[in-house]
Structure 1
Amino acid sequence: MRPCPRRLCHLDQTIQGSLLLAVLIFLLFTLPSFIKEPNTKPSRNKHQQNIKERSPELLQNAMSQAPTTRRKATTHMGSVLGTHTRDTHPEATALMANQRRRAQTSKAHAEEPGRVPTPTGKAALQTQAGAQAGKGARGATPAATPSQDRAQPTRSSAPPRSPATQRSQKLKATNFKSEPQWDFEDEYSLEVGGLQTTCPDSVKIKASKSPWLRTLFLPNLTLFLDSGHFNQSEWDRLEHFSPPFGFMELNFSLVQKVVARFPPVPQQQLLLASLRPGSSRCISCAVVGNGGILNNSHVGPEIDSHDYVFRLSGAVIKGYEHDVGTRTSFYGFTAFSLTQSLLILGSRGFRHVPLGQDVRYLHFLEGTRDYEWLEALLLNRTVTSRNLSWFRRRPQEAFQEALQLDRYLLLHPDLLRYMKNRFLRSKTLNTAHWRIYRPTTGALLLLTALQLCDRVSAYGFITEGHERFSDHYYDKSWKRTIFYINHDFKLERTLWKRLHDEGIIRLYQRPMTSKPTI
């Protein structure tokens, strides 16, 4: 009987060990519930308050990152046309902590001074040293980000910017050491469905067959700036280019107020619109510059024989009819060239612009002073701008109080930029003086005639041997032509000669003589 108690004792020890192990396991799992941890987390009320405060932020963050509603935003540097999309696509079951962290990061970036979201495409720009500049721009001083697509040549869908955005992201010419080259630099507003010439030897037809011009010449450009060709999107696009090639550093309110007064031009090809439907008549134009080569030229009757005659700036006619003709169909000018001509040549008979019921006026807009001139013209007030300090008169006096806005045409900045980019791109644009360069008013007028006419003859423009002639045909004594840095006369001379040699224009030239003439 003794072995049994030993087995029972052994069994009791086994049971006791099991029970002890069970007690230890029980205590291991239940003991933490009796110990109170320090309260390092926000209370329920505080957590709810935080959610309430952050809910609009989280909602906006979630919606902006949702895969099915990728929001497009436009970032402007004075008006950058860039598409900004978020790359993060959170799942619907994302943790609240991750959402809060993303919201805090976004808020911190948004509140960082001078920080602008980096857009992709269409001349995206970055901020450097407090200045906005584009990396779609070549030759820019600030850094830039490459773009993936090009801005549209006509009206974009960029939304209007807030005043705060306009103030903080305005492009300035001083940001660039040479002319900036945007990805959409060589894209222009085009007229869709415009009139086409039927003249078999039109300059447009010749250009399309020329190995040199067929990739340069655009026959359907938008030529005129008016109320139908100005809106916020166009401002945003053109603000990347300095005047007269765009709106950089101009006052939006002033430009808008002025341009809104000009009625839309029904047909950009307004000379073709004057022909009978189906007519194959060729429109001939004479463009008359003021060069001394016209003095004693006796080409006045030849000039007047053209369908239309273009003149510019100080177009003195009285006393020079036999050399320069008498008719005027188009008069081209800038506010500077016109006011200076009235001031300097008033005693020579140039006291007002060419007048007539059929005369059209072509205003090349150089910058702020041109819009200030227009504002005074439209309000019939005296010019008070410091930019025109020498002219303290009412602009309408120059038009003899008979101005009609449907005959007063503003040349579109795209047209002038097209001329500069494709025909008169001076090396000055690659220097620190890039901001002041522009083609001469005569060059702008002659290239405008190529857009409007079928046959173009140029008189009084710079040619080989120009040094033999006085600066202007109306000079009383011989004056040497001065080459100013804001123009490139040599480049223009080369262009006119090549257009003449290609048969695109007929350039009036004089036989070589041994001594200069007035």
Structure 2
Amino acid sequence: MASLKGRFFSLLLLSITCIVLLILLQGNVLGSNSRTGFLEYNRFREDSDEGESTPSPENPQNYRTTRRNSLMKPKSDKKTTPAETPIPVLSLKSFDKLPQWDFEDIYNQDSPPRLTTCAQSLRNSQDKDFQKAFLPNIRLYLHKDNFNMSEWNRLSHFNNPFGFMQMHHEEVMAAIKLLPKLKEPLLLPKQGGDGCVHCAVVGTGGILNGSKMGAEIDAHDYVFRMNGAAIEGYEEDVGNRTSVYVHTAHSITASLAFYQKYGYKAAPHDEGIIYVMIPEGLRDFQWLQAVYKGERVVSGEYKNRNARTYYSGQFNESRFYVLHQDFLRYVRNSFLKSSNLNKTFWGIVRPTNGAFALFLALHVCDTVSAYGFMTPDYSKYSNYYFERYTKTHVVFYANHDYILEKNLWKKLHDKKILKLFQRTKSEAVTEKPKQL
């Protein structure tokens, strides 16, 4: 009997020991699995890249390692992190085609600037492809408060206007330090309206010649224009209001020389107009310094030019926005990734100013109507709407993929994301010269 009791207690003790060990082992397994949750963000970044990714040259795993360490290792009070410094300047010549970094599709996003109550807002689109590509809260504007050395080093991997490749930190920062954080959202619904923000984006395409779309364009809450937006004498076709003018240093200066013969005298300067700049290169940051300081440009292509005069007295830093490099890169990567980026001249390939203006509108407006943009029958029209008495042809430049953009505008129109102005066959004629 004593022997049986001894065996029973031995088996009971062994069973209890096994159960305790099993619980401990299970706890360790669960603990190790819970850590993988911190890495899911990194896995998402790696899986989202298309094709082969290019590690950062100064530290092949820099961004991935930094994120992991900050999540998995608590900060120590005994050690201080050395101050981050600019990475070595990267050169376009080092790459035969667009490099694909492992953080290529990581973008800054902000809190929603406003909650729309507009039932017809494009943000309510049920199109799955558009929902997948569209980032409603992408960071739109660059300013000194959302910029630091880590941001500089990240963006230095991308060519302009998508980043700061080939640029020096001190040259660019001299301008960025002047950029204040401005109020958002950019546009608000009109009082007494339907709660929606209705926008027209007006390009310079010849399809507007003789269109008589001016009144319809001006009926929108806000009107966007860009580049050589000649208005005087063309009001019946293109309207006369401008709420937002999108430009680069090159476009606002060159338009005066190129389009003066068509009556273009200055960039739009309506009372209270909002100016939006695309920082496409170093010359734009040199321009920005002069604009904000009220001085002449001190160096570069526009040296000694009085930048503020190009805004005809309407420059106001509370109404002057600079597009963020993440927004520009997102537009290219998600919607307009040209096959030319795989060619040796990839470094100059980017969407047009009109494309950036249209996508800005898609992110700050509820409804968007596009006028003067390329349509499938573009060959029927002159290059510009102000070429009234001559039949010119659309000029294709290597730095823009016009056909890709044309196809996208038609696709977005068909999906009812935007409304693209198109002409009927009977209307598709160039205005004939008037008899003298």
Q: TM-score range by the shorter chain?
A: 0.7 to 0.9
2:363 is aligned to: 451
Equivalences for residues 454-493 of structure 1 within 5 A:
454-475=366-387, 476-493=389-406
Q: Tell me which amino acid in the other structure corresponds to 1:488.
A: D
In structure 2, relative to structure 1, the CA distance for the partners of 1:161 and 1:442 (3 Å cut) is same
Task: Tell me how far 1:250 sits from its aligned partner.
Answer: 1.8
Query: Using the alignment, how far apart are the partners of 1:301 and 1:223 within structure 2?
Result: 30
Q: 1:204 aligns with which of 104, 119, 123?
A: 123
Match of 2:98, SS? strand
Match of 2:411, SS? helix
Task: Tell me how far 1:490 sits from its aligned partner.
Answer: 0.4
Match of 2:358, SS? helix
Query: Using the alignment, how far apart are the partners of 1:123 and 1:281 within structure 2?
Result: 37
CA deviations on 1:465-492 (whole Å, 9 max, x unpaired) are: 1011000001142211111110000000
Task: Tell me how far 1:349 sits from its aligned partner.
Answer: 3.5
Query: Using the alignment, how far apart are the partners of 2:330 and 2:198 within structure 1?
Result: 23
In structure 2, relative to structure 1, the CA distance for the partners of 1:141 and 1:258 (3 Å cut) is closer
2:53 is aligned to: 138
Q: Which stretch shifts more, 221-230 or 495-504?
A: 221-230
- Unpaired runs of 5+ residues, structure 2, are 1-41, 76-80, 432-436
Query: Using the alignment, how far apart are the partners of 1:121 and 1:172 within structure 2?
Result: 29
CA deviations on 1:289-315 (whole Å, 9 max, x unpaired) are: 000000000000000000000001100
Query: Using the alignment, how far apart are the partners of 2:177 and 2:237 within structure 1?
Result: 40
Task: Tell me how far 1:507 sits from its aligned partner.
Answer: 0.2
Match of 1:443, SS? helix
Assess if the C-alpha contact under 8 Å between 1:147 and 1:183 holds in 2.
Answer: no
2:224 is aligned to: 310
2:99 is aligned to: 180
Give yes or no for the alignment of 1:246 onto 2:163.
yes
Give yes or no for the alignment of 1:296 onto 2:210.
yes
2:296 is aligned to: 382
CA deviations on 1:18-39 (whole Å, 9 max, x unpaired) are: xxxxxxxxxxxxxxxxxxxxxx
CA RMSD, 1 decimal: 3.1
In structure 2, relative to structure 1, the CA distance for the partners of 1:371 and 1:146 (3 Å cut) is closer
Query: Using the alignment, how far apart are the partners of 2:427 and 2:240 within structure 1?
Result: 30
1:161 is aligned to: 84
In structure 2, relative to structure 1, the CA distance for the partners of 1:190 and 1:225 (3 Å cut) is same
Give yes or no for the alignment of 1:395 onto 2:395.
no
Query: Using the alignment, how far apart are the partners of 1:176 and 1:258 within structure 2?
Result: 28
Q: 2:114 aligns with which of 191, 195, 198?
A: 195
| Number of aligned positions between the proteins | 374
2:411 is aligned to: 498
1:331 is aligned to: 245
Match of 1:177, SS? coil
Give yes or no for the alignment of 1:229 onto 2:150.
no
Q: Tell me which amino acid in the other structure corresponds to 1:354.
A: P
Query: Using the alignment, how far apart are the partners of 1:201 and 1:175 within structure 2?
Result: 47
Match of 1:315, SS? coil
Q: Tell me which amino acid in the other structure corresponds to 1:423.
A: F
Task: Tell me how far 1:356 sits from its aligned partner.
Answer: 2.6
Query: Using the alignment, how far apart are the partners of 1:403 and 1:340 within structure 2?
Result: 19
Q: Tell me which amino acid in the other structure corresponds to 1:425.
A: K
Assess if the C-alpha contact under 8 Å between 1:258 and 1:375 holds in 2.
Answer: yes
Give yes or no for the alignment of 1:356 onto 2:270.
yes
Q: Which has the higher strand share?
A: 1
Task: Tell me how far 1:227 sits from its aligned partner.
Answer: 1.6
Query: Using the alignment, how far apart are the partners of 1:289 and 1:150 within structure 2?
Result: 45
Task: Tell me how far 1:187 sits from its aligned partner.
Answer: 1.3
1:341 is aligned to: 255
Query: Using the alignment, how far apart are the partners of 2:350 and 2:369 within structure 1?
Result: 23
The two structures have a TM-score, normalised by structure 1, of 0.67
Q: 2:349 aligns with which of 412, 424, 437?
A: 437
Larger Rg: 1
Task: Tell me how far 1:352 sits from its aligned partner.
Answer: 2.2
Q: Tell me which amino acid in the other structure corresponds to 1:138.
A: S
- Unpaired runs of 5+ residues, structure 1, are 1-119, 125-135
Assess if the C-alpha contact under 8 Å between 1:328 and 1:359 holds in 2.
Answer: yes
Q: Tell me which amino acid in the other structure corresponds to 1:432.
A: T
Query: Using the alignment, how far apart are the partners of 2:198 and 2:82 within structure 1?
Result: 44
Q: Tell me which amino acid in the other structure corresponds to 2:277.
A: H
Task: Tell me how far 1:402 sits from its aligned partner.
Answer: 3.8
Task: Tell me how far 1:276 sits from its aligned partner.
Answer: 7.3
Query: Using the alignment, how far apart are the partners of 2:231 and 2:373 within structure 1?
Result: 17
Assess if the C-alpha contact under 8 Å between 1:121 and 1:146 holds in 2.
Answer: no
Task: Tell me how far 1:141 sits from its aligned partner.
Answer: 12
Task: Tell me how far 1:516 sits from its aligned partner.
Answer: 5.4
In structure 2, relative to structure 1, the CA distance for the partners of 1:144 and 1:375 (3 Å cut) is closer
Query: Using the alignment, how far apart are the partners of 1:516 and 1:276 within structure 2?
Result: 39
Task: Tell me how far 1:513 sits from its aligned partner.
Answer: 5.4
CA deviations on 1:319-359 (whole Å, 9 max, x unpaired) are: 10000001110001111111110122234433322113321
In structure 2, relative to structure 1, the CA distance for the partners of 1:143 and 1:410 (3 Å cut) is closer
Q: Tell me which amino acid in the other structure corresponds to 1:243.
A: N
Query: Using the alignment, how far apart are the partners of 2:44 and 2:173 within structure 1?
Result: 24
Q: Tell me which amino acid in the other structure corresponds to 1:341.
A: S
Identical pairs, percent: 40
Assess if the C-alpha contact under 8 Å between 1:189 and 1:414 holds in 2.
Answer: yes
2:16 is aligned to: none
1:76 is aligned to: none
Assess if the C-alpha contact under 8 Å between 1:310 and 1:329 holds in 2.
Answer: yes
2:15 is aligned to: none
Match of 1:362, SS? strand
Q: Tell me which amino acid in the other structure corresponds to 1:259.
A: I
Q: Tell me which amino acid in the other structure corresponds to 2:186.
A: L
Q: Which has the higher contact order (CA 8 A, sep 6+)?
A: 2
2:318 is aligned to: 406
